[in-house]
């Protein structure tokens, strides 16, 4: 099965992000990759109208800490959505599985606990090359995809809130 280019999307399908505010949590592990994910996410948010001062970035030591970094944003700030960016590369031990499962479960729980879009921007790859391919390489940038997802989810939530207020 061909892998989709992560940066390919219909520009017109993305709402205007002018009034939206985002928190981004970036893992320092594999920073060559995660830094590229972060740059892609920021660039994409700005491309869709998000203001510079409406994008707040914080770093955490590794992907396992992404969940708590996301929780800090949810608890202490007024962001409309949180983007979690990390990269876990398969090694010889089962650490990979534990981290990936932990972050997937953690991100899911944050979405529900805070009724807030928390976007799972975690690359989980077999090797470094697969990660590079998805961090601005031949398969696009997962940071772009995460940013577009975040804008769409904020817009969806705002629509629901608007509808519920006029009923
Ligand atoms: C320990 C560890 C390992 C082996 N591999 C990765 C990785 O590929 N990607 C990543 O983001 N973090 C890794 N870590 C660090 C853990 O995410 C975490 O920071 C430590 O286990 C401390 O909680």
* Residues 6+ away with beta carbon under 8 Å from 27: 34, 59, 60, 61, 62, 63, 65, 66, 85, 86, 87
Closest ligand 1 atom, CA of 95? Answer: 4
Residue 166, pLDDT score: 85
- Return d(Cα 145, Cα 62) in angstroms, integer: 21
| Domain assignment of residue 156, yes or no | yes
Does residue 1 belong to any structural domain of this protein? no
CATH, residue 137: 3.40.50.960
> Total structural domains in the chain?
1
pTM: 0.96
| 15 within domain boundaries | no
pLDDT tens-digit profile of 114-150?
A: 999 999 999 999 999 999 999 999 999 999 999 999 9
C-alpha 167/C-alpha 55 separation (Å) is 32
Ligand 1 pocket test: pick from 28, 31, 64 the residue with the most ligand atoms within 8 Å of its Cβ: 64
Check: CB of residue 22 under 8 Å from CB of residue 77: no
Which residues have C-beta atoms less than 6 Å from ligand 1? 27, 29-30, 61-65, 86-89, 91, 95, 99
Q: Token digits for 64?
A: 């396992």
Ligand 1 atom closest to 28 (CA): 11
Contacts of 71 (CB under 8 A, 6+ apart): 110
Distance CA 80, CA 91 (A): 35
Confidence of residue 152 (pLDDT cuts 50, 70, 90): very high
Ligand 1 centroid–CA 158 distance in Å is 35
Residue 151's domain comprises 21-166
């Amino acid at each position: 099965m061909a892998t989709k280019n992560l940066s390919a999307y219909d520009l017109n399908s993305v709402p205007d992000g002018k009034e939206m505010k985002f928190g981004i949590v970036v893992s320092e592990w594999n920073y060559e990759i995660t830094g590229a994910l972060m740059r892609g996410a920021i660039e994409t948010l700005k491309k869709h109208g998000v203001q510079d001062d409406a994008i707040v970035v914080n770093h955490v030591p590794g992907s396992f800490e992404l969940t708590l970094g996301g929780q800090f944003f949810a608890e202490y700030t007024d962001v409309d959505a949180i983007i979690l960016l990390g990269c876990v590369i398969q090694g010889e031990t089962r650490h990979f599985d534990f981290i990936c499962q932990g972050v997937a479960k953690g991100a899911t729980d944050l979405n529900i606990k805070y009724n807030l879009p928390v976007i799972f921007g975690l690359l989980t790859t077999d090797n470094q090359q697969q990660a590079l391919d998805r961090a601005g390489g031949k398969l696009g940038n997962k940071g772009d995809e995460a940013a577009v997802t975040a804008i769409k989810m904020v817009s969806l939530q705002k629509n629901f809130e608007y509808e519920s207020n006029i009923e």
